[in-house]
A = this chain, B = another copy of it.
Protein backbone atom coordinates (compact mmCIF):
# COMPACT_ATOMS: atom_id res chain seq x y z
CA UNK A 1 0.00 0.00 0.00
CA UNK A 2 0.92 3.59 -0.21
CA UNK A 3 2.31 3.89 3.28
CA UNK A 4 2.42 1.09 5.78
CA UNK A 5 4.80 3.23 7.77
CA UNK A 6 2.44 6.01 8.64
CA UNK A 7 3.35 6.00 12.24
CA UNK A 8 5.09 9.12 10.96
CA UNK A 9 4.61 12.17 13.10
CA UNK A 10 4.53 14.39 10.02
CA UNK A 11 3.01 13.57 6.66
CA UNK A 12 3.61 16.06 3.89
CA UNK A 13 0.81 14.55 1.84
CA UNK A 14 -1.69 15.77 4.37
CA UNK A 15 -3.03 19.23 3.78
CA UNK A 16 -2.56 20.76 7.21
CA UNK A 17 0.82 19.28 8.03
CA UNK A 18 3.40 22.00 8.72
CA UNK A 19 6.01 19.95 6.90
CA UNK A 20 4.29 20.84 3.66
CA UNK A 21 5.04 24.53 4.04
CA UNK A 22 8.66 23.76 4.86
CA UNK A 23 8.92 21.60 1.76
CA UNK A 24 7.41 24.41 -0.27
CA UNK A 25 9.88 26.92 1.09
CA UNK A 26 12.77 24.61 0.26
CA UNK A 27 11.56 23.53 -3.18
CA UNK A 28 9.80 26.71 -4.22
CA UNK A 29 10.75 28.69 -7.26
CA UNK A 30 13.45 30.69 -5.47
CA UNK A 31 14.03 28.56 -2.39
CA UNK A 32 15.69 25.69 -4.21
CA UNK A 33 18.00 27.97 -6.17
CA UNK A 34 18.90 29.97 -3.09
CA UNK A 35 19.77 26.87 -1.10
CA UNK A 36 21.68 25.50 -4.05
CA UNK A 37 23.70 28.68 -4.39
CA UNK A 38 24.57 28.72 -0.70
CA UNK A 39 25.80 25.14 -0.76
CA UNK A 40 29.14 26.06 -2.23
CA UNK A 41 29.87 29.04 -0.05
CA UNK A 42 28.20 31.61 2.13
CA UNK A 43 27.16 34.65 0.16
CA UNK A 44 26.05 38.22 0.70
CA UNK A 45 22.70 39.58 -0.34
CA UNK A 46 23.70 41.02 -3.68
CA UNK A 47 26.02 38.14 -4.46
CA UNK A 48 23.01 35.89 -4.08
CA UNK A 49 20.95 38.14 -6.31
CA UNK A 50 23.53 37.80 -9.02
CA UNK A 51 23.88 34.04 -8.66
CA UNK A 52 20.15 33.40 -8.66
CA UNK A 53 19.47 34.92 -12.02
CA UNK A 54 16.14 36.70 -12.24
CA UNK A 55 15.22 36.98 -8.58
CA UNK A 56 13.99 40.38 -7.41
CA UNK A 57 15.10 42.04 -4.18
CA UNK A 58 11.70 41.49 -2.71
CA UNK A 59 11.49 37.79 -3.45
CA UNK A 60 15.04 37.11 -2.35
CA UNK A 61 14.35 38.89 0.91
CA UNK A 62 11.12 36.94 1.43
CA UNK A 63 12.78 33.67 0.52
CA UNK A 64 15.68 34.22 2.90
CA UNK A 65 13.34 35.10 5.74
CA UNK A 66 11.29 31.95 5.23
CA UNK A 67 14.40 29.77 5.05
CA UNK A 68 15.89 31.45 8.09
CA UNK A 69 12.68 30.97 10.03
CA UNK A 70 12.64 27.28 9.15
CA UNK A 71 16.20 26.95 10.42
CA UNK A 72 17.75 26.21 7.03
CA UNK A 73 19.69 29.43 6.58
CA UNK A 74 21.69 31.47 9.05
CA UNK A 75 21.87 35.23 8.73
CA UNK A 76 25.04 36.82 10.03
CA UNK A 77 25.11 40.58 10.14
CA UNK A 78 28.42 42.25 10.84
CA UNK A 79 28.13 45.68 12.42
CA UNK A 80 30.46 47.45 10.04
CA UNK A 81 30.07 50.28 7.64
CA UNK A 82 29.10 49.73 4.91
CA UNK A 83 26.86 46.98 6.29
CA UNK A 84 27.85 43.43 5.51
CA UNK A 85 25.53 40.47 5.92
CA UNK A 86 26.48 36.91 5.12
CA UNK A 87 24.02 34.12 4.56
CA UNK A 88 25.09 30.56 5.16
CA UNK A 89 23.45 27.20 5.52
CA UNK A 90 22.74 25.60 8.87
CA UNK A 91 23.67 21.91 9.23
CA UNK A 92 20.07 20.99 8.41
CA UNK A 93 20.10 23.46 5.54
CA UNK A 94 23.20 21.75 4.17
CA UNK A 95 21.47 18.41 4.18
CA UNK A 96 18.44 19.81 2.42
CA UNK A 97 20.56 21.73 -0.07
CA UNK A 98 22.59 18.60 -0.77
CA UNK A 99 19.49 16.67 -1.74
CA UNK A 100 18.29 19.59 -3.80
CA UNK A 101 21.61 19.80 -5.64
CA UNK A 102 21.44 16.11 -6.37
CA UNK A 103 18.09 16.72 -7.98
CA UNK A 104 19.31 19.79 -9.83
CA UNK A 105 22.29 17.96 -11.27
CA UNK A 106 20.11 15.03 -12.23
CA UNK A 107 17.74 17.30 -14.12
CA UNK A 108 20.54 19.27 -15.74
CA UNK A 109 22.25 16.08 -16.83
CA UNK A 110 19.10 14.65 -18.39
CA UNK A 111 17.80 17.73 -20.12
CA UNK A 112 18.46 16.11 -23.50
CA UNK A 113 15.94 13.43 -22.60
CA UNK A 114 13.48 16.01 -21.30
CA UNK A 115 13.78 18.13 -24.41
CA UNK A 116 13.28 15.09 -26.60
CA UNK A 117 10.21 14.12 -24.59
CA UNK A 118 8.80 17.60 -25.00
CA UNK A 119 9.28 17.51 -28.74
CA UNK A 120 7.56 14.14 -28.93
CA UNK A 121 4.69 15.35 -26.77
CA UNK A 122 4.20 18.53 -28.77
CA UNK A 123 4.36 16.76 -32.10
CA UNK A 124 1.76 14.21 -31.04
CA UNK A 125 -0.54 17.10 -30.19
CA UNK A 126 0.85 19.57 -32.70
CA UNK A 127 -2.15 19.45 -35.00
CA UNK A 128 -4.47 20.48 -32.24
Determine if A59 is an interface residue (Cβ-Cβ < 8 Å): no
Question: How many residues of A are in contact with the other chain, CB < 8 A?
Answer: 57
Q: Which residues from B are CB-within-8-Å of A86?
A: none
A9 pairs with B111, CB closer than 8 A: yes
User: In the complex the two chains form, is A69's CB within 8 Å of B118's CB?
Assistant: yes
Whether A71 lies near B107 (C-beta < 8 A) is no
Q: Given A33-B12, A41-B2, A111-B22, A106–B117 Cβ distance below 8 Å?
A: no
Cβ 8 A contact of A32, one of B23, B102, B115: B23
Query: A116–B69 Cα gap in the complex (Å)?
Result: 10
Q: Which one of B27, B51, B118 lies within 8 Å of A2 (CB-CB)?
A: B51
Q: Given the complex, which residues of B lie within 8 Å of A36, measured CB to CB? A: 12-13
Least distance between A97 CB and chain B CB atoms (Å):
10
Contact of B70 with A27 in the complex, beta carbons under 8 Å:
no
Instruction: Give the contacting residue for A71; candidates B15, B95, B106, B114; CB below 8 A.
Output: B114
Given A26-B107, A27-B32, A71-B117, A54 and B12 contact (CB-CB distance below 8 Å) = no
Interface, chain A (partner B; CB < 8 A): 1-3, 8-15, 18-19, 22-24, 26-29, 32-33, 36-37, 40-41, 51-54, 68-71, 92, 95-96, 99-100, 102-104, 106-108, 110-118, 120-122
